[in-house]
Structure 1
């Protein structure tokens, strides 16, 4: 009796409760379950040369990822989607503050990739109020560059997506993307380092049909986990599909940030996640697990 390879693979995935909640492409590149630690996720630090004073202003004061059991003052430890620990991004308690986590990889073959994760977000529960307007946004991005033997004009491409939850105390509840080309700035005096700040609150555009009301439970210490999937083709540097919970969105109008390839970033494949607060209170993005897969 012959066994169909696809059926056998599907059975293996479904037998593992850690992976069965994902729909990966044929090759799993990385599976990050934060019960095992940080899994390579670290702080995003802007480029500098000679002194940290050369950091662009947007990178100063950024905070990075930590492990968390989602502890709250009223209920103790909430725990993650499946286990005890989640990756936590916590901003400073200052309006507009950002927290960013990044995982730095390279790709071995340009082709379709799929990012899946389970996430949730909340403000710090410093008031006995719903506080659903205190988190401005949470989001993610890829930072990609072609290989050094690419036949076409080399590019660095950065697809960004964020959920704009609130602005100025008014709920927005919609997905946005960031097109265009960032401003590249020289860092230091040796002409060796450049930098650009791409996570500012400017130039975001609404994803067509991107309005979505996510589950935000009744008090600031309750969380509900959301599923997210983003498909991107590195070969064509184009977005393929995007899903959050029960909604799949049209990416026909989606554009990425684009710039000329940089001299030392060949085959770069970085993944980043971020949170931003809208008030003088910390905003939290929690990620239970991340599955990155590819069709190669």
Structure 2
């Protein structure tokens, strides 16, 4: 009997729920800890007061058992812990989690993960419009100074806005102007997650499972394919829906002086009301075709 690489992955319950490309770059099961995910801290120089206020509002992700007041501990898809990205209790505020990597070959890559989201259960009502959005992005930079670019594909699920349940996938291709930080000419910043410039993905309406009381959750599967060589989006899948992203642009700005071959992954959540909202990530698989 010939055993293939696919056979070995299908035999592993942790990996068989993913469809990775040939080489797994990282597999993050949060029952093993943070796996390199941390707080997205805004740039600063000499003083923390130089940080952009929206970045200063970010909190550190937590390892959570997804506990609720009425039912106790929910746990993850197949274990105890998930990564929890929690906002502060203020309308329009966001929080993030980031994993900082670099790439060794520019080629196709695939991000897969299981996620769910809820507002903090402070009321005995469904609260399905208290989460504004949840999303993810890559923060990338090419590997050579000649014609160097920083490329940032952004995807979010706009769950609600102004009290309306929207449920639509969106992308973003613009950011704020670069702002110098400090006096040494080494640090700059821009607020690429600023609340403007989001555009609808064609055919991007999708009804996600959002259970009947404020403490119930259901996990969703997400896959996002990107080509590092061409620096363009290819396709994404959420549960049973596939979206062609080949013509969808990313944020593109000039390369930074010290970020060559950067491959950062970011998750984020935004609050629609003055209530904390939580984005939970159960496990993450990043793979590549090289």
Does the TM-score normalized on the shorter chain lie above 0.5? Answer: yes
Equivalent of residue 260 in structure 2, options 255, 266, 277: 266
Deviation at 1:213, TM superposition (A): 0.6
Equivalent of residue 200 in structure 1, options 194, 217, 241: 194
Q: Partners in 2 of 1:8 and 1:190 — Cα distance? A: 54
Equivalence for 1:155: 149
- Give yes or no for the alignment of 1:100 onto 2:96: yes
Write the deviation string for residues 169-219 of structure 1: whole angstroms up to 9, x where unpaired.
Answer: 101100000013541110112222111111111100001100001000001
Contact 2:175 2:190 in 1 (8 A): no
Flag as ranges the 4+ runs of structure 1 deviating above 4 A: none
Q: Partners in 2 of 1:255 and 1:131 — Cα distance? A: 33
- Give yes or no for the alignment of 1:283 onto 2:277: yes
Equivalent of residue 230 in structure 2, options 227, 236, 239: 236
- Give yes or no for the alignment of 1:71 onto 2:67: yes
Equivalent of residue 132 in structure 2, options 136, 147, 156: 136
Comparing 250-259 and 210-219, the one that deviates more: 250-259
Equivalence for 1:38: 34
- Give yes or no for the alignment of 1:166 onto 2:160: yes
Equivalent residues, number: 290
* 3-state SS in 1 of match to 2:4: helix
Q: Partners in 1 of 2:93 and 2:174 — Cα distance? A: 23
Write the deviation string for residues 50-78 of structure 1: whole angstroms up to 9, x where unpaired.
Answer: 00000012212111210000000000000
Q: Partners in 2 of 1:19 and 1:192 — Cα distance? A: 41
* 3-state SS in 2 of match to 1:271: strand
Deviation at 1:264, TM superposition (A): 0.3
Q: Partners in 2 of 1:276 and 1:238 — Cα distance? A: 25
Contact 1:182 1:257 in 2 (8 A): no
Q: Partners in 1 of 2:149 and 2:33 — Cα distance? A: 33
Equivalence for 1:52: 48
Comparing 222-231 and 140-149, the one that deviates more: 140-149
**TM-score with structure 2 length normalisation?**
0.98
Structure 2 gap segments, 5+ residues each: none
Contact 1:207 1:253 in 2 (8 A): no
Equivalent of residue 247 in structure 1, options 241, 249, 254: 241
Contact 2:175 2:192 in 1 (8 A): no
Comparing 257-266 and 52-61, the one that deviates more: 52-61
1:206-225 map, 5 Å? 206-225=200-219
- Give yes or no for the alignment of 1:88 onto 2:91: no
Contact 2:175 2:194 in 1 (8 A): no
Q: Partners in 1 of 2:268 and 2:41 — Cα distance? A: 13
Contact 2:129 2:160 in 1 (8 A): yes
Contact 1:68 1:87 in 2 (8 A): yes
Q: Partners in 1 of 2:187 and 2:173 — Cα distance? A: 24
Tell me how large the CA RMSD over aligned residues is.
Answer: 1.1
Contact 1:209 1:250 in 2 (8 A): no
